[in-house]
Structure 1
């Protein structure tokens, strides 16, 4: 049996395209994204050991939660002290950059999505999530195939309805292929249902936030999403320059087809 690459992904933002933006946000983001990390199955043990060592060093017995870390919230309230934040964030960056993982994501700018598709899809708001999932899994599958590997997909559990949707989207890819107009997607070399059945092992499996790989996926996703708005954002730029994102491993010409997918974003001026 062929060796596997595992995709662990989390979500960010609201799945509802018409969700009112939070004007209190200081980061200027209004998106929905699915993304996280790809890891060779034989590297998982090493990641878990590095994760345990990092938490032991910092006397942490709770999950590494991106939202809490960025804002010094909850368990990470101690990061409100600048000296604590400086030391911890520097060490966290070093820890993440040393992991044998590849960041990958699909990020949708929600206002742009509404402008482009509201008249087409109406109230079928679930399509934004299905689109993000399909693109994420397809690009992960293409990467796995390029390495002569099979893909296995893991998602963070969010609730019965959300989990049921993810499993349904995975089944649909193997039954019907990509959920786009075949003529419009031909230029992207879309995988077929047969391709998905050949590359992707099993159905998407749910994991909790206690899973170390899910916490790493969470820590990778925000910088990738933020990078769609500000490519100079340090955590994103650092991951990219150090070869820890899928965009680092494909040529610039291939990024629109194989890299992180930024959908419905305003064109740069």
Structure 2
């Protein structure tokens, strides 16, 4: 039997549409939920890539992209390295990201755009709807990719005591009831039926940030999100050129139903 896909998911940005934007995020205020799809037979080889990187650079914690870019926490040592060493560090991490046999998937929401379209007023009593929308879209597109290869789909997300049960509830609802989006508005995306979700979805688990594949998911969803605001962001360009993002890894006939979803952008 074909081994399943696993979707490793992480968040980036603020999931609450009613929270004021941080001034440091001006001009790129997003919420993204997504990461990487991994075939079961590739799991061990990807772990080795991440472990090898961590060992070489003597990391004292997970490769978290915002800490790496800002050179904070256990990446403060980057500031003390020579430029040659820093370039080697980033070359190594890009090599891990681009050589891992994964497919980058996700949904990125422009928070100001979400508010401007009136969704906050319409769903003001449901502050979690933005997060749920991004989760449901990402999982549905991942299910479609899994079905192309006749595989089941499991989900692993980065644990957080405040949201573990909420995200698990999103998953169970998809598996039991399917999507809740307006049928007419979503018709062009060829939404899956409740039965198709039930047939394909397996289990969901939450794991700590240090999980090797969640470290990759973190860099992927950040890169896919930042790209929409910063077209010259280098990590995304490398992933694009390596055909690791769904938009470039899949045949054109399956797009736009399976590509990265950018939501509430002009």
Does the alignment reach a TM-score above 0.5?
yes
Contact 1:141–1:200 (Cα < 8 Å) also in 2: yes
Question: How far apart are the structure 1 equivalents of 2:58 and 2:163?
Answer: 34
Residues 21 and 45 of structure 1: CA distance in aligned 2, closer, same or farther (over 3 Å): same
Aligned partner of residue 38 in structure 2, secondary structure: strand
Give the corresponding residue for 2:43: 44
Pairing of 1:153-232 with structure 2 (within 5 A): 153-159=155-161, 161-202=162-203, 204-232=204-232
Aligned: 1:121 with 2:123: yes
Gaps of 5+ in 2: none
Question: How far apart are the structure 2 equivalents of 1:201 and 1:219?
Answer: 25
Give the corresponding residue for 1:239: 239
Question: How far apart are the structure 1 equivalents of 2:237 and 2:243?
Answer: 10
Give the corresponding residue for 1:30: 29
Residues 253 and 227 of structure 1: CA distance in aligned 2, closer, same or farther (over 3 Å): farther
Deviation above 4 Å: which 4+ runs of structure 1? Answer: 251-254
Give the corresponding residue for 1:8: 8
Aligned partner of residue 257 in structure 1, secondary structure: coil
Question: How far apart are the structure 2 equivalents of 1:17 and 1:251?
Answer: 34
Question: How far apart are the structure 2 equivalents of 1:17 and 1:25?
Answer: 14
CA displacement 1:176-219 (0-9 Å, x = unmatched):
211111222222110111111101112x2111012101111111
Contact 1:13–1:31 (Cα < 8 Å) also in 2: yes
Give the corresponding residue for 1:133: 135
Taking structure 1 as the reference length, the TM-score comes to 0.93
Contact 1:131–1:179 (Cα < 8 Å) also in 2: no
CA displacement 1:43-63 (0-9 Å, x = unmatched):
111111122222222122421
Give the corresponding residue for 2:111: 110
Aligned partner of residue 201 in structure 1, secondary structure: strand
Contact 2:103–2:246 (Cα < 8 Å) also in 1: yes
Give the corresponding residue for 1:151: 153
Give the corresponding residue for 1:68: 67
Question: How far apart are the structure 1 equivalents of 2:90 and 2:124?
Answer: 43
Aligned partner of residue 209 in structure 1, secondary structure: coil
How many residues matched? 263
Aligned partner of residue 39 in structure 1, secondary structure: strand
Contact 2:13–2:29 (Cα < 8 Å) also in 1: yes
Contact 1:8–1:36 (Cα < 8 Å) also in 2: yes
Aligned partner of residue 54 in structure 2, secondary structure: helix
- Give, in angstroms, the shift of residue 87 of structure 1: 1.9
